[in-house]
Amino acid sequence: MIIEELNNYLDQEFGNIDRVVNELFSLYKPEKSEYTLAEQAAVAAFIVNIYSGIEKILKQMLLFDKLDVHDSPEWHEKVLRKSSEIGILPPDLFKILSSYLAFRNYYIYTYIFNIKWENITALADTVNDVVGKLKTEITEYIQTI
C-alpha cells in the first residue's frame, strides 16, 4: 500500500464513521429523557460501530507502518496500545478510546438491559469530539510518514 492508497482508505473510513455518527444523532438527542430499550440498543450499537471504524483506521495505519497487529485474542488492545506507543494517539485520546473499547467488549457479551443508560449516553455525548480529535491526530501523523 502506498500513501495515496492509505489516504483514500482513511477518507472512506472516516466517511463511513461520519455516516454512522449522523445516524446516531438522528436517534439520540441529549435533551430527550426517555428511550425505549430498542432505541437504547440502537444507540449502543451505533457507538460500537463507530469504535469499530476507528479501530479499522488505527489497524490499517499500523499495518502501513509494518507493525504486527495480527489477529490474536488481545488484538483490540494491541491496536490501541501500539497506536499510542508510536505517536498516533496522544495519552488523553488513548485513554478515551480505551473506554470505548471497554464498552464495546461489554456490549458484545451482555444483554442490552444490563447496560446502564448513563454509560451509553456518556459515550454518545463525546463521540463528535472524539472523532474530531482522531481526525486531527491522524492528519498530523500522516504528515510525518
Query: E strand or H helix at 53, and its extent?
Result: helix 37-64
Q: Taking residues 1-16, what's their average pLDDT? A: 95
pLDDT in tens, 20-58: 999 999 999 999 989 999 999 999 999 999 999 999 999
For 81, half-sphere exposure in the C-beta direction (CA atoms, 13 angstrom radius) is 7
Would you state the pLDDT for residue 73?
Answer: 74
Alpha-carbon dihedral angle through residues 70, 74, 131, 99, given to the nearest 10 degrees = -170
The packing angle between helices 117-142 and 37-64, to 10°, is 20
pLDDT in tens, 57-112: 999 999 998 887 777 778 899 999 999 999 999 999 999 999 999 999 999 999 99
End-to-end CA distance of the chain: 13
CA angle, 135 as apex, 143 and 100 as ends, to 5°? Answer: 130
Q: Residue 1 pLDDT more than 90?
A: no
Q: Look-up: residue for cell 496522544?
A: 90
Query: E strand or H helix at 19, and its extent?
Result: helix 3-27
pTM, two decimals, is 0.94
- The superfamily in CATH containing domain 3-142 is bsu32300-like (1.20.120.580)
Query: What are the grid coordinates assigned to 69, written together?
Result: 497487529
Q: Taking residues 4-28, what's their average pLDDT? A: 97
Domain boundaries, the chain: 3-142
Query: What are the grid coordinates assigned to 17, written together?
Result: 464513521
